[in-house]
Amino acid sequence: MTPPSPLCPNPMQVHSIQQETADVWTLNLINPDVYLYQPGQFALVSIRNSEDTLRAYTLSSSPGLSRFISLSVRRLPEGSGSNWLTQEVKPGDVLWLSDAQGDFSCVQHPSDRYLMLAAGCGVTPIMSMCRWLVANRPQCDIRVIYNVRTLADVIFADEWQDLCTAHPQLQLTLIAKQSTQSGLLNGRISAPFLQQVAPDITERVVMACGSELYMQQIEQLCTQLGVPASRFHKEQFHTSAEQSDASNESLTLRIGQPLREFRVPVGSTLLAALEAHKLPVLAACRAGVCGSCKTRIVAGHYTTSSTMTLTPAEIEQGYVLACSCQLQGDATLA
């Protein structure tokens, strides 16, 4: 078989699909060859076996422990990738995956004490790591705080219960903004709450995954509590604000040879501007993590929220990640 994209050379057959919650499904894949990955990492998936449409999903399975390579996917109403994977793909179909990517892994950030923080589908890499840690580092102390809307939204609910029962060193706290349900705390994450769950938080490695607003809040709280930056690690898959709601101003985006000009709102991400005008751009994680949307700006005024996969030399040459580049003035692309 010929890969649809050179970035996704690994064919895997769908063995089974199981529904976790009302909007989350896990796809269990059979890999014919050895597929090396670390707990917490993600992979790019070729959507509809297309060269141009790739999306990033966490590998929710755990290496050496799980029978399959698994992807847990939340279906988004307008998500082309998530709708295809959860509503159209069926057992027997073949998906094409990239090699495993990302440094959000307990293997890359070893410790004997962790505080794992997750919201919604951000729990998928957390489960991958917790499952791996209790099997491979049984003396490791792990505290998990998992934010959900309701008890019905807990992903891997039965497995969490089994893991915590079998491994007392793993402690799970479920929390929601508003709830009267048994087994679910009512409230918001706060600095006192984090200290209550993990009094030694400054000595733990903190690993967090969730929405943009959630991650901002968690990072602020951890900084407030004195968690060293070297001990705080985050993973987030989201599209940054596509444009500034505070401004109706527009700018000129100039592209290539022959030169073409487009008007786009001030504050738009470069990715949003390119997609709005149907210009070719490869964007997988859409969160400044995978590096697939690397683009060079030769002139212009812009800000960036992530340069994770760029080298200092590339940044000096004007390379940006389109999903994490906010256009503030006229700009010209190479």
| Fold that domain 10-97 belongs to in CATH | Elongation Factor Tu (Ef-tu); domain 3 (2.40.30)
Note the pTM of the prediction, 2 decimals: 0.78
pLDDT digits (tens, 9 = 90+) for 242-271: 333 334 578 899 997 778 899 888 888 899
Class of domain 113-235: alpha beta
| Mean local confidence (pLDDT), 24-39 | 95
How buried is residue 246: exposed, middle or buried, by Cβ count under 10 Å (0-12/13-18/19+)? Answer: exposed
Q: How confident is the model at residue 87 (pLDDT cuts 50, 70, 90)?
A: very high
pLDDT of residue 305: 82
Average predicted confidence (pLDDT) for the chain = 89
For the packed helices 157-166 and 123-136, what is the interaxial angle rounded to 10 degrees? Answer: 30
Q: Where are the domains of the chain?
A: 10-97, 113-235, 250-333
CA 49 – CA 13 distance, rounded (Å): 13
List strands edge to edge, sheet with 170-176. Answer: 185-186, 170-176, 141-147, 113-119, 205-209, 232-235
Residue 46: strand pairing partners: 54
Higher pLDDT among residues 247 and 86, named by residue: 86
Class of domain 250-333: alpha beta
